[in-house]
Structure formats: C-alpha cells, structure tokens
Amino acid sequence: MKPTDHDLLILDGACGTNLQEMEIPEEAWEGSEGCNELLNSTAPESIIQLHRGFVEAGAMVIETNTFGASRIVLEEYGLEDRVEELNQAGVACARAAIDGKADVYVGGSVGPGTKLPSLGHIEVEDLARAQEQHIRSLVEAGVDLLIIETCQDLLQIKVAMTSCFSILEELGRDIPVMGSVTIERTGTMLVGTDIAAAAVTFEPFPLFSFGLNCATGPAEMESHLRYLSRNWPGRISCVPNQGLPEVVDGKTCYPLTPEQYGQDMKRFVTEFGVSVVGGCCGTTPAHTRELVRALDGVTPGAREVIS
C-alpha cells in the first residue's frame, strides 16, 4: 500500500523535544550542540531508538530528523557542506527503525529554516536553492512522502512548494506532499497571515494534505480546523503540540495528557473530517499509543465544503 491508500494516517513529529530527554554522548555533537540533524550521522543509534518508540506505539508515518537539514540552518553551525549526508542519514535512520514494516512510511521533514524572505532575512533565490538541495536529498534518499511543515511566511511557502514540485518533476517522482502552517496564539502566522489566506496560497499546488502543526495545542487549533473543514477541498492535517508549554522547575513541559490528546484528536477526526493526525512538540510514544487507541475503528467524518 501507499500512504494515499489510507483513510486515516497517524504520524509522529516530535524529534526535537524527545531528543532533549535522551542521553546523547557529548562527542556526538562535535561542538555543534543544538544541531539535532548532525546526530543522524554521529549518533544514529539514538535517532533509531527515538523513531522505534513511535513505530512500536503505532505511528504509520515516521518523520525524518531533517527539519533543519538545509544549508540555511546548517551553515549556522559550519556544516553547510553536509546537507546531502545528513539528509541521507536521516532517512536511513527512519528506515532502520521501521525495520521492513510494509504499512509504516518514511516522511521527509522539511522545515522553514531560520530566515524568512518576507522579513528580508534572505533573498528568494538563495532560499530556493537551499530548499531544492534539501528536498532533492530527501527524495533521492528514498522518502515515501514529503512534509513541508511549520510554514510561517507566504513567500516562504511559495518558494518551498515551487521548489518541491520542480524537483519531483525533474526526478520523475510522484510522491505525496503534505503542507502545514503554524498559527500562533495571536490567531495568525508569524508574519500576520490568517488561515484563509494561507489556504488560498496552498490551493494551486497538488497537495496530499494541508493543515496545521506546532505553536499551540489542539484547543487553539479548533477554529482554524473548522474553517478548513468547510473551505479546504482536500485532506486536512492536524499535528499540534501537547498543549501550551509551561516552565516547571526551570524545565519546559507540555501539559496535555495522552488521554486528553487522544480524545481531542478523535473529535477533530469525527467532527471536522481531519484525516492526517499526529503530534508535534511534547509528543511521546505514550501520546501516540493513546491516539492509536482512540482512533481504532474511527473514520473521518463527512464534510460539506463550500464551493
């Protein structure tokens, strides 16, 4: 089967916060603490262990540890010449964790980078080259789908999507592409765009799904999902954090319990017809396990999309 053959897809998307809880050998960072993507090559056993926890919990899509594996991000650590290596290693780690399971897929994670064109951080041409290299590396490494996520800027979205479909056409590959924006607590993306404008921007692209991830928990995403349920013609994705972060004893924590998360997501599936679900920051295998349990036998609810 292919990812597109499933009525409901459950994915994991929480590499960063889980890595913070793991004991990573100091030498694995090679002096570049904070560059999680480097661990794909220097500590693959840790990345495989992380992924395997979500596979065992029942996730159907394992996101690669490549969110920041673009030249734009890696050059901040002096690692800009290791783009292909770290993306290929990231895919290899996810594939090793899946261990031949035919019904679990590798999703290539493509983050927004750290420089947004609308804010003048980077020229569009430079962003496009970086995105093309990032996406090409993932596709050539054999991902089953691409996840362009945490989008924060309409111009960044257009560059990422144009680069993505250009590379797929060039390589002759037909794989699903998911698009996901981040809506802040203010109710808009970082640069002030609401969900309606974001949906219009994504509409021309042949996406497998469109939705939201990161920044907030399920409660803060509800109104945006309601809008998409009525106005977005394709699949809808919802990949929230486990609530709004709280600092407890100097440590960042996410308060949503696995049980509450599972029930929130089940309601989104049945009421809004969401068909791609998962967790972002704060998500543990326990959350994914409860999500799988809550959605057992559940199918996405019917939607009446306004034409």
Q: What is the pTM of this model?
A: 0.96
Distance CA 154, CA 202 (A): 9
Per-residue model confidence as pLDDT tens digits over 135-156: 999 999 999 999 999 999 999 9
pLDDT the model gives residue 249: 84
pLDDT the model gives residue 29: 95
CB 144 within 8 A of CB 105: yes
The two structure tokens encoding residue 298: 């559940």
- Go through 9-29 and write b for each residue having 16 or more CB atoms within 10 A of its CB, e for each that does not: bbbbbbbebbbeeeebeeebb
Beta bridge partners of 179: 148, 210
53, 113, 260, 294 from 284: Cα distances, Å: 8, 24, 14, 16
Residue 6 burial (CB < 10 Å; 0-12/13-18/19+)?
A: middle
| pLDDT of residue 213 exceeding 90 | yes
Distance CA 169, CA 155 (A): 21
Per-residue model confidence as pLDDT tens digits over 249-281: 888 889 999 999 999 999 999 999 999 999 999
| pLDDT of residue 18 exceeding 90 | no
| pLDDT of residue 56 exceeding 90 | yes
- Secondary structure class of 144 (helix, strand, coil): coil
The two structure tokens encoding residue 104: 């679990």
| Ranges of each domain in the chain | 3-294
| pLDDT of residue 19 exceeding 90 | no
> For the chain, what percent of residues have pLDDT higher than 70?
100
Q: Identify the residue whose tokens are 């509450």.
A: 260
Distance CA 42, CA 288 (A): 27
- Strand extents, DSSP E, 182-239: 209-213, 235-239
pLDDT the model gives residue 279: 96
Per-residue model confidence as pLDDT tens digits over 177-191: 999 999 999 999 999
Q: Identify the residue whose tokens are 């220097």.
A: 42
Assign domain 3-294 to its CATH architecture: Alpha-Beta Barrel (3.20)
Could you tell me how many helices (H) and strands (E) the chain has, helices first?
11, 10
pLDDT the model gives residue 137: 98
